[in-house]
Amino acid sequence: MAKMSDIQKQLEQAAGARHSVIPLAEAGPSLAPAPEPPKAVPAAAKPSPRAGKKHVGAHLNPAFTANLLIAKARTGKKIETLIADALNELFRSLNLPVVED
């Protein structure tokens, strides 16, 4: 690896000018490392919107995703709401209790 002074000489030759090089050891406090920024104080922990809920998922044909996104766009409802509504319709058809959220 080339030394810093060699690199400086090459830069000066390329620029066509001569500048004095101050070694880092003699540069003084202006090149001292910057102080570390203060560490962030954690804000009060917010309860997760998922708290008390259970993930239900399935690997389905991509057409389900496409239709679900279209239904979301048409109704303006969240995907979670659409899925919950669909499951409740299934539960009604099977005479099971409907889940009210």
32 secondary structure, DSSP code: S
32, two tokens: 């001292």
Residue 53 placed within a domain? no
Looking at the structure of the chain, the number of domains it has is 1
What is the rounded distance in angstroms from the CA atom of residue 76 to the CA atom of residue 86? 15
Q: Convert the pLDDT of each residue in 8-29 to its tens digit.
A: 887 777 777 555 666 665 555 5
55, two tokens: 């993930």
pLDDT at 8: 80
pLDDT tier for residue 66 given thresholds of 50, 70 and 90 = very high
90, two tokens: 């299934």
What is the rounded distance in angstroms from the CA atom of residue 88 to the CA atom of residue 92? 6
The answer, yes or no, to whether residue 53 has pLDDT greater than 80, is yes
Amino acid occupying residue 94? L
Residue 68: domain span: 62-93
pLDDT at 81: 95
